[in-house]
Amino acid sequence: MSPIAYKLYTYLMGQPEGQNLVMEELTRVLSTSKTAIRAAFEELSIDGLLTYTQEA
């Protein structure tokens, strides 16, 4: 399994280490904050383009 596939798999399975890895990768690649990424996920969810559940 490729590194990105592993990151996505663990993220989608709800494993904390996967969520952290994917969020760190997104902040690096998109050059933005975790808060901005969470807001974007929420916006896509409201628009019906993405099912998103924010963990505490």
2-47: per-residue pLDDT in tens? 777 777 777 777 777 777 787 888 888 889 898 988 888 888 777 7
The per-residue pLDDT for 52 is 59
What DSSP character marks residue 49? S
Q: Is 52 a member of any domain?
A: no
Print burial letters for 22-51: b (CB count within 10 Å at least 16), e (below 16): beeebeeeeeeeeeeeeeebeeeeeeeeee
The per-residue pLDDT for 12 is 73
Q: Is 17 a member of any domain?
A: yes
3-state class (DSSP) for residue 7: helix
Q: What is the largest CA-CA distance in the chain?
A: 32
Domain count, the chain: 1
Check: pTM over 0.75? Answer yes or no. Answer: no
Q: Domain of 31? A: 3-46
The per-residue pLDDT for 23 is 84
Q: Is 33 a member of any domain?
A: yes
Q: Is 53 a member of any domain?
A: no
3-state class (DSSP) for residue 23: helix
d(CA 5, CA 56): 24
Q: Is 9 a member of any domain?
A: yes
